[in-house]
Chain A
């Protein structure tokens, strides 16, 4: 009798801290494995470089990205302009650097929105189960029934061609991926002991979802986010290329390629460099994401 009451009187706070400590240990272990993995390191280096470029662009860019110099228009790469100039004489290197700010900002925004909303939706679906789960997952399936670029394109076209709408469109397309994953996790977590304990002590569904379910999915959300960031940046650049996202003269990589395409034959540098940066950034996220996923795969961790 006495032991039972003691068990059930273990405070939720204690449970929470215990879970937390385990998570911290896992996190450090992950980092160690990552540092041993060459492709993860490579990916990490690339991403950090891009982030640094994005953050310090106003300091390190050699020219103002919107500074026009018609006398220098369309000049080839030289010591004065490492990546050449565009049709208005703007320095392409500086524009590419500022482009990093834009692309990374888009990526982070999309992931924040899609990850946040998607995780919430998935957690609700997984936890509440049954009809709610069915309904929500069907809606997610509907969204997944479209090839991602096609749906993003339709939404961006309807909302209007500008950067904010492109972010909304891409986020919308990415929500189901997060929702699905978090739902799976929620389904697993909701059977655990401490959930039952929480419910027993009168915690409401909302509280449980926010304080127990979601935090447990955190690491998988991070992994998924890394894997998806690459795809996000690609879709956003594709939208700008079609004419739906960033509009010229914004120095966004996709928009620059869209304009630079006209000049491909005689001014090869114009569309080449922005695209190269897209490729590098996405590669960085993809190999880091892959390595992260491999490392976190329970079979490998043993």
Chain B
């Protein structure tokens, strides 16, 4: 009796331990991407999260799309659903000619009416994505395939904003799912109805999201048939899955594990300079920090190189000025702070804090690097006599404090929504944008305001660059932020994944329509 039981146990154990299932990713037509967190919602008019856009973007068409130049993502745009366009001499009216023959899944044509509907919907709902389209006053349907967009004021970057996720063209028929005047938000949170190359066919929360290619897409047909977005929170799981070939691309593997991955002959660890920057807000409206000398001293105290070496393992570049390298308008000769403990101490003494200073830095777990940065800053500041208290809090609480200006120092991360230096210069420094909208240091300088506001309405790149350069000089002296670094985006993937194009405007998003496996 005992022996039989033992046998049965042994056999079942063997079965359980032994059997593995068939591997999907040996399948050439299916791409599996391992991502760290669940997606929240699918409505392009509501979601401000790149992680949601990853699924939304390929499901819809937009008027324009980013070019691919020499296999690299460019910040310039080319026609997508719009065949051509023109702008009036005063910059206030854009006319778009819409391509004929594009249809949504239920047969509704993508025409000027659909374009008008989509933009008006985003603006009416008025959540995060509406910011990008804030310059739009009205959309006029001239005829079925011509739409005129009237702007409130001339806006240089307007065309770039049409390639963002907010500008997805949605089927007007989604309104049949509207409930209680919500403009179909409840339905759109969980479904997509676009004309893009993919559509979402399955979404098991917490497990995976499946996109399937549309065989009758009007544009270049996707080479993949299916994309599976697989939620795997643990970096170690993603790594094992990537190494065994169960997933093709891993989105979030800890930086420490990269060297081991690079040794793996089947895996390519691709690195791209990104526009994602991390920096410190110095609240210019709070006592002590409102003193320019104090802010300069703090800037001189930071050991930028150490932070990049240890926190990013060298995968980053110290910011030079507020506009990151790779964005036009970046000034390679503007002043840059370096660690100079003596100078920092002298500045503090001059400011009257020779005996020491107590400050508090707040942060959350939104970025994995923040805790490490905070601890290094604490140590760096201690060297100049500043006692930095660290306060970790939940992200929504943090955002609330930022909005109200209830902090002295705070860690931040930022990436541009569209390819224009105003995403940094105007958002960060215009006194109109105090708080969460962008000017999180509550900085106010009338000269800077004048320079950046003028630059925003001009369309000549050289003129704008000149104005921004002048503003940058003032800014570096005023030191309202500590500019830490711009990161590299690291994407580990199996070598058989081809055609991936990284676009600094599309972080965490993949060009599924042109990726293929071989």
Interface 9-mer from B164-172, B371-379, B493-501: B371-379
Return chain A residues, CB-CB under 8 Å to B256: 74, 266
Q: Does B393 contact A (CB under 8 A)?
A: yes
**From residue B84, how far is it (CB to closest CB) to chain A in Å?**
50
Q: In whole angstroms, what is the CA distance A243 to B306 when docked? A: 28
CB atoms of B375 and A249 under 8 A apart: yes
> Which residues of chain A (214-261) have a CB below 8 Å from chain B?
243, 247-249
Known A70-B310, A74-B256, A161-B393; judge A249-B371 contact (CB<8 A): yes
**From residue B34, how far is it (CB to closest CB) to chain A in Å?**
15
Return chain A residues, CB-CB under 8 Å to B239: 265
Return chain A residues, CB-CB under 8 Å to B371: 248-249
CB atoms of A88 and B372 under 8 A apart: yes
CB atoms of A87 and B392 under 8 A apart: no
Flag B368-387 by CB within 8 Å of A: 1 or 0 each.
00011001100100000000
> Which residues of chain B (144-186) have a CB below 8 Å from chain A?
none
CB atoms of B376 and A68 under 8 A apart: yes
**From residue B156, how far is it (CB to closest CB) to chain A in Å?**
43
Known A87-B372, A249-B371, A249-B390; judge A73-B235 contact (CB<8 A): no
Q: Does B358 contact A (CB under 8 A)?
A: no
Flag B343-385 by CB within 8 Å of A: 1 or 0 each.
0000000000000000000000100000110011001000000
CB atoms of A161 and B394 under 8 A apart: yes
CB atoms of A262 and B235 under 8 A apart: yes
CB atoms of B257 and A266 under 8 A apart: yes
Q: Does A150 contact B (CB under 8 A)?
A: no
Q: In whole angstroms, what is the CA distance A68 to B379 when docked? A: 8
Q: Which residue of A lies closest to B309 (CB)?
A: A70
CB atoms of A265 and B236 under 8 A apart: yes
Q: Does A264 contact B (CB under 8 A)?
A: yes
CB atoms of B254 and A262 under 8 A apart: yes
Q: In whole angstroms, what is the CA distance A133 to B310 when docked? A: 62
Q: Out of A68, A70, A247, which one reaches B392, CB within 8 Å?
A: A247
Return chain B residues, CB-CB under 8 Å to A265: 236, 239
Return chain B residues, CB-CB under 8 Å to A243: 365, 394
Contact residues on B (Cβ < 8 Å of other chain), bracket: 20 to 34
Q: Does A160 contact B (CB under 8 A)?
A: yes
Return chain B residues, CB-CB under 8 Å to A264: 236
Classify the interface of chain A: helix, strand, loop or mixed: loop
CB atoms of B392 and A248 under 8 A apart: yes
Q: Does B445 contact A (CB under 8 A)?
A: no
**From residue A68, how far is it (CB to closest CB) to chain B in Å?**
6
**From residue B281, how far is it (CB to closest CB) to chain A in Å?**
20
**From residue B449, how far is it (CB to closest CB) to chain A in Å?**
37
Known A160-B397, A161-B393, A248-B392; judge A73-B375 contact (CB<8 A): no
> Which residues of chain B (309-346) have a CB below 8 Å from chain A?
310
Return chain A residues, CB-CB under 8 Å to B254: 262
Most chain A beta carbons < 10 A, residue from B239, B306, B379, B397: B379
Flag A59-70 by CB within 8 Å of B: 1 or 0 each.
000000000101
**From residue A152, how far is it (CB to closest CB) to chain B in Å?**
17
Return chain A residues, CB-CB under 8 Å to B306: 70
Return chain A residues, CB-CB under 8 Å to B394: 161, 243
CB atoms of A73 and B257 under 8 A apart: no
**From residue B377, how far is it (CB to closest CB) to chain A in Å?**
11
Return chain B residues, CB-CB under 8 Å to A74: 256
Q: In whole angstroms, what is the CA distance A67 to B102 when docked? A: 62
**From residue A95, how far is it (CB to closest CB) to chain B in Å?**
13
Q: In whole angstroms, what is the CA distance A88 to B368 when docked? A: 13
Return chain B residues, CB-CB under 8 Å to A88: 372, 375
Q: In whole angstroms, what is the CA distance A70 to B375 when docked? A: 10
Q: In whole angstroms, what is the CA distance A160 to B396 when docked? A: 11
Q: Which residue of B lies closest to A73 (CB)?
A: B310
Q: In whole angstroms, what is the CA distance A264 to B235 when docked? A: 10
Return chain B residues, CB-CB under 8 Å to A87: 372
Q: In whole angstroms, what is the CA distance A43 to B390 when docked? A: 38
> Which residues of chain A (248-291) have a CB below 8 Å from chain B?
248-249, 262, 264-266
**From residue B302, how far is it (CB to closest CB) to chain A in Å?**
15
> Which residues of chain A (57-93) have a CB below 8 Å from chain B?
68, 70, 73-74, 87-88
20 contacts between A and B (CB under 8 A): A68-B376, A68-B379, A70-B310, A70-B376, A73-B310, A74-B256, A87-B372, A88-B372, A160-B397, A161-B393, A161-B394, A248-B371, A248-B392, A249-B390, A262-B234, A262-B254, A264-B236, A266-B236, A266-B256, A266-B257
Footprint of A on B, CB under 8 Å?
Answer: 234-236, 239, 254, 256-257, 306, 310, 365, 371-372, 375-376, 379, 390, 392-394, 397
Given contact pairs A68-B376, A243-B394, a sample of 13 additional A-B residue pairs in the complex whose CB atoms are under 8 Å apart: A70-B306, A70-B376, A160-B397, A161-B394, A243-B365, A247-B393, A248-B371, A248-B392, A262-B235, A262-B254, A265-B239, A266-B256, A266-B257
